[in-house]
Structure 1
């Protein structure tokens, strides 16, 4: 039986520049090392394993990379040293694996602390902007330097093989894992933070699929850039609305002040 495939083939005969790869790997080793040292320091100082467990969970989240990488038409070039390979040819480069504890684990810990402390909605959206910024700092230089490419009719892609901005909205799994980790700590105490290890990879890939499925579907059905752009807008809407709902549930409501707050006391006076 013959099947028609509308999905473009990934570029096969392109190489990652060796020097660029080695620099990226060296930077990733430094970032991972510093993050691990700080997590150990935090564990010793505050007697809580939360950040350390987030680092471990973030590292495990790298195992989910090929799942949505295949769906989102992401291709790591030949010449990358791979930590592991799945689906015959898709996997995760070592430099990428080493960045996962800081990005996936760090974003989970950021939202865990934010929800735990009862921060304001403004601080929540600032944290979302921080995650967006960290994502751009990783993706834009490394795609521009041709270590990997996004191929096919990618929406919101501004240079050949470059980072499509719709991915920003699928990489917010730290919101879900941070919220779940707060619930776990409230239920089980400090021991609950050990659940960061399975929660972070699960929440990370869940957010990718929960919000990214319209764009994944459009890309893999051979849609034009017009249709993948419509799908990407839906992806962004799903992500932002889900983030808003989590914030509404996890963060305290602002106190009512002024005239409205004074109404009960007036009624009591009568």
Structure 2
């Protein structure tokens, strides 16, 4: 018995759009994403000049290298960064990519990896780690929403959770890129003295590949079947479960017991990561003329 051809044939992969990049949204979005990059570079140079080391700079460079993953996730995840930009920086897989793609990887993947490393070094509980994941989800929504609303890029095909042009399944996957990178740095930095600290650079794109490959494959598969929204939403549930599982796994790598963590508030964790943990104040010297307390005689209860 021969099955009909339409039963055996795979559904066509949705064809990506071909809309040109609008100039004004490109400029605005590039400036919007360039500001945190400028701040990160400023502090990276400051760290070098003040003897704090090149780690932040290595993270930012690694984030810049990781942007070469963008064509891969775009093709698999059905994203179209509109072409013909005035600031095209590289070409891959039949598409060209504007400067703002480089910027977003430098600070979201590289910069937040450094922030995650600092948080893990200061101490974080399992609950705090899940809170950090949620914070990175919100940051992702904040940084991507202007781009899709202005038309600098678009998602196509049967994207689940697509309410205003930004499919929210992406923001469940993306935070694991800096979190995994930060965990790698946290665990491996003691083994990276001197020039070996440069190995942080490839760790950032490695973490990018780990996160996307491990978490997004259910949705990538269904999107490229051109499946129904019911199926792609079911795939999102699987990917979201994988993302939470990944955070749980990371907790065994970086989290500490509550009694070992002195800072637990979300704001305090971020402030400590950025500005450092203040030293314990030393006891004030006795005032001039102040009498020393009388010693307690041996055998007399105080």
- Answer whether TM exceeds 0.5 for this pair: yes
The alignment of Structure 1 onto Structure 2 pairs a total of residues equal to: 250
Structure 1 residue 209 corresponds to structure 2 residue 213: yes
Q: In the TM superposition, what is the alpha-carbon distance from 1:34 to its structure 2 partner?
A: 2.1
Q: In the TM superposition, what is the alpha-carbon distance from 1:82 to its structure 2 partner?
A: 2.2
2:29 pairs with one of 21, 24, 27: 24
Cα separation, 2, equivalents of 1:5 and 1:22? 37
Cα separation, 2, equivalents of 1:109 and 1:254? 23
Q: Are the counterparts in 2 of residues 185 and 193 from structure 1 also a CA contact under 8 Å?
A: yes
Structure 1 residue 169 corresponds to structure 2 residue 175: no
Q: Secondary structure at the match of 2:202?
A: helix
1:81-135 per-residue CA deviation (whole Å, 9 max, x = no partner) reads 32111112x2432112122111101121122112222222333223222211221
Which stretches of structure 1, 4 residues or longer, exceed 6 Å deviation after superposition?
none
Cα separation, 2, equivalents of 1:249 and 1:73? 33
1:7 pairs with one of 10, 13, 19: 13
2:223 match: 219
- Please report the TM-score for the alignment, with normalisation by the length of structure 1: 0.86
Q: In the TM superposition, what is the alpha-carbon distance from 1:189 to its structure 2 partner?
A: 4.1
1:141-180 per-residue CA deviation (whole Å, 9 max, x = no partner) reads 1101111100000000013xx1100001221211111111
- Which structure dedicates a bigger proportion of its chain to helix? 1
Distance change in 2, residues 1:91/1:78 (3 Å): closer
Greater shift in the superposed pair: 22-31 or 132-141: 22-31
1:184 pairs with one of 184, 188, 203: 188
Q: Are the counterparts in 1 of residues 33 and 103 from structure 2 also a CA contact under 8 Å?
A: yes
Q: Are the counterparts in 1 of residues 21 and 83 from structure 2 also a CA contact under 8 Å?
A: yes
- In structure 2, stretches of 5+ residues that fail to align are 1-8, 261-302
1:242 pairs with one of 246, 259, 283: 246
- In structure 1, stretches of 5+ residues that fail to align are 257-270
- Please report the TM-score for the alignment, with normalisation by the length of structure 2: 0.77
Q: Secondary structure at the match of 1:149?
A: strand
Structure 1 residue 110 corresponds to structure 2 residue 129: no
Cα separation, 2, equivalents of 1:207 and 1:149? 22
Cα separation, 2, equivalents of 1:158 and 1:98? 25
Structure 1 residue 133 corresponds to structure 2 residue 138: yes
Distance change in 2, residues 1:183/1:189 (3 Å): farther
